[in-house]
């Protein structure tokens, strides 16, 4: 393949900047832009060891002094001859160095092209390639650990026993058909049944990880709802750790949704602070209320905030009735929700009633008293969120399905295995089961990249940044 180059450390000024090069003839090009202090040609430098020298522009003038390292094929990230230049992270210096490489016959790398070459050269499968971008995009330590374990082949290791079981079925069948004179033991229905049952169980366990994997990767879309002045914005500010939202005593201050990502109980919550739900003649506020309802529809978790300072008495009947209607509305969404009684620093925690909730509605996962001022009760909120979205066992790291593509491929594989088991139980001959086993293998091959179509591969690598 031709040689490619890109800045791997972004465009902002930094202490250190890195330019990556890979492809046939890259060492010769590096000789034109790097002058080692030891006087030896770049291609003769010790592999995988940094060497000091001068970075040169396209006219051979020194633009910086730094380090360079070469990675001879096949022991490199891409599987090709590769190199890196480590210099000061000045955008000007990096651009000059990159321009000098272009003048030496190297072209600009496309987004994700280094990793795509690693995949094409057999250095990683598609699940590992996806883990690279997941690791770059990770927003929590748990997400980073899962991506790192998947990059180490965690998902492939789960799939290999399934592939082996299905390959045993297909290969022995074809061996008997193609070589009838050889002493090859025919595979019998009980063996097929055991192999298919084992494959189905493994694929089902893998599908059970979808929710945890997607929560780990994308977080949980969470709507904070309540009546005006219930303490919604104060709660978001408390969870975010800074004043993200404007807070006043005037009802209806929040007129549009405000979003913020926070870590709560080890779970990434993508919080949406919404306008207070009430009937209003204000056009702008009414639009905010409509967005609140839409946020509730799209949310995966709802935090219902109640004003704990409102006394239960006849004078507050209208407020309490509006609150009861909102309780029913939230409960009837069918989504997980938590009921939070705010301002317990003013009232103190006490047992409270949820009021009249419809018979067809579910109760909240937890009822908590919290104070956004003192932080009281926020630890219990974290525990409740963690219980709703458990991280799973530590040993699961790397074996979670983290996107829809992976889920779809595993589901198709399991469905094919299920059809094969059903056909076998109905008395069909082993040759009839062969099509289902091969279909399952094709789906797994699509997941790992062994049989993936070019458009699928291209779509995956289009998510990458330039330089990776």
Residue 192's pLDDT is 80
Convert the pLDDT of each residue in 336-362 to its tens digit.
999 998 888 776 655 566 667 666 677
Residue 315's pLDDT is 74
Residue 250's pLDDT is 44
CA distances from 29 to 56, 80, 103, 113 (A): 12, 14, 9, 19
pTM of the predicted structure, to 2 decimals: 0.76
d(CA 123, CA 152): 11
Residue 189's pLDDT is 75
Among the ranges given (56-60, 282-286, 451-455), the one the predictor scored with the smallest mean pLDDT: 282-286
Residue 360's pLDDT is 62
CA distances from 321 to 278, 342, 420 (A): 12, 18, 57
- Section 294-323 average pLDDT: 81
d(CA 283, CA 289): 10
Give the phi and the psi of residue 257 in degrees, each rounded to 5. -70, 140
Q: How confident is the model at residue 452 (pLDDT cuts 50, 70, 90)?
A: low
**Which residues, at least 6 apart from 281, have a Cβ–Cβ distance to it below 8 Å?**
none
pLDDT of 205 strictly over 60: yes
CB-CB contact of 284 with 297 (8 Å): no
Angle between helices 430-448 and 404-425 (to 10 degrees): 170
Convert the pLDDT of each residue in 241-285 to its tens digit.
766 544 444 444 444 457 888 888 888 999 888 766 555 545 444
CB-CB contact of 80 with 29 (8 Å): no
**Which residues, at least 6 apart from 399, have a Cβ–Cβ distance to it below 8 Å?**
149, 150, 154, 155, 157, 158, 206, 209
Domain edges within the chain? 4-109, 130-209+399-461, 215-388
- Section 444-465 average pLDDT: 76
**Which residues, at least 6 apart from 88, have a Cβ–Cβ distance to it below 8 Å?**
15, 16, 17, 64, 66
Higher local confidence (pLDDT), 218 or 279: 218
Query: Computed from CA positions of residues 195, 206, 117, 74, in that sequence, does the dihedral angle turn out positive or negative?
Result: negative
Residue 245's pLDDT is 46
Fold of the CATH domain 130-209+399-461: 1.20.120
CB-CB contact of 207 with 407 (8 Å): yes
Fold of the CATH domain 4-109: Gyrase A; domain 2 (3.30.1360)
d(CA 358, CA 70): 69
DSSP labels for 410-433? Answer: HHHHHHHHHHHHHHHHTT--HHHH
Query: Computed from CA positions of residues 42, 48, 53, 57, in that sequence, does the dihedral angle turn out positive or negative?
Result: positive
Convert the pLDDT of each residue in 185-202 to its tens digit.
566 777 788 888 899 999
Mean of per-residue pLDDT scores for the chain:
83
Give the phi and the psi of residue 97 in degrees, each rounded to 5. -65, -40
CA distances from 257 to 246, 291, 298, 330 (A): 12, 7, 13, 17
pLDDT of 66 strictly over 90: yes
DSSP labels for 163-201? Answer: HHHHHHHHHHHHHHHH-TTS--PPPPHHHHHHHHHHHHH
Convert the pLDDT of each residue in 125-147 to its tens digit.
989 998 998 888 888 888 888 88
Q: How confident is the model at residue 424 (pLDDT cuts 50, 70, 90)?
A: confident
Residue 186's pLDDT is 61
Residue 113's pLDDT is 93
Please name the helix (run of DSSP H) or strand (run of DSSP E) that holds residue 16, with its range, or none.
Answer: strand 14-22
d(CA 387, CA 242): 26
Query: Computed from CA positions of residues 12, 18, 23, 26, in that sequence, does the dihedral angle turn out positive or negative?
Result: positive
The CATH code that applies to domain 215-388 is 3.40.50.300
CA 325-328-332 angle, 5° bins:
145
Same fold across 130-209+399-461 and 215-388 = no
Residue 10's pLDDT is 79
Please name the helix (run of DSSP H) or strand (run of DSSP E) that holds residue 108, with its range, or none.
Answer: strand 107-108
């Amino acid at each position: 393949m031709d040689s490619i180059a890109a800045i791997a450390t972004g465009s902002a000024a930094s202490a250190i900047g890195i330019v990556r090069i890979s492809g046939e003839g890259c060492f010769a090009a590096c000789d034109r832009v790097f002058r080692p202090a030891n006087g030896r040609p770049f291609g003769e430098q010790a592999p995988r060891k940094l060497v000091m020298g001068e970075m040169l522009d396209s006219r051979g003038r020194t633009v910086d002094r730094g380090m360079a390292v070469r990675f001879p094929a096949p022991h490199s990230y891409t599987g090709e001859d590769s190199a890196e230049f480590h210099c000061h992270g000045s955008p000007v210096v990096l651009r000059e160095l990159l321009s000098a490489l272009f003048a030496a016959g190297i072209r600009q790398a496309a987004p994700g092209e280094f990793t795509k070459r690693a995949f094409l050269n057999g250095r990683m499968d598609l699940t590992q390639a996806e883990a690279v971008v997941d690791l770059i995009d990770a927003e929590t330590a748990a997400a980073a650990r899962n991506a790192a374990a998947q990059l180490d082949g965690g998902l492939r290791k789960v799939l290999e026993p399934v592939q082996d079981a299905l390959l045993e079925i297909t290969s022995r069948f074809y061996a008997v058909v193609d070589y009838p004179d050889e002493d090859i033991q025919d595979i019998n229905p009980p063996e097929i049944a055991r192999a298919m049952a084992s494959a189905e169980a493994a694929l089902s366990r893998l599908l059970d990880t979808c929710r945890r994997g997607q929560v780990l990767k994308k977080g949980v879309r969470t709507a904070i709802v309540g009546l005006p002045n219930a303490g919604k914005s104060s709660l978001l500010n408390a969870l975010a750790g800074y004043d993200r939202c404007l807070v006043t005593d005037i009802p209806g201050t929040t007129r549009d949704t405000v979003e913020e990502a926070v870590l709560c109980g080890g779970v990434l919550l993508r919080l949406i602070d919404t306008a207070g739900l009430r009937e209003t003649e204000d056009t702008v506020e009414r639009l905010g209320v409509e967005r609140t309802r839409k946020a509730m529809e799209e949310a995966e978790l709802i935090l219902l905030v109640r004003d704990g300072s409102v006394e239960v008495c006849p004078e507050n009947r209208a407020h309490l009735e509006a609150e009861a209607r909102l309780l029913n509305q939230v409960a009837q969404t069918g989504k997980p929700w938590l009921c939070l009684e705010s301002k317990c620093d003013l009232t103190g925690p006490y047992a409270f009633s949820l009021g009249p909730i419809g018979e067809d509605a579910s109760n909240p996962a937890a009822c908590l008293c919290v104070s956004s001022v003192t932080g009281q009760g926020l630890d219990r909120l974290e525990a409740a969120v963690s219980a709703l979205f458990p991280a799973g066992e530590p040993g699961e790291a790397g074996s979670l399905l983290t996107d829809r593509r992976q889920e779809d491929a595993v589901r198709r594989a399991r469905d094919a295995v299920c059809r094969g088991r059903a056909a076998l139980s109905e008395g069909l001959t082993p040759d009839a089961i062969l099509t289902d086993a091969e279909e399952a293998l094709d789906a797994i091959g699509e997941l790992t990249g062994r049989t993936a179509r070019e458009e699928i591969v291209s779509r995956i690598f289009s998510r990458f940044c330039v330089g990776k």
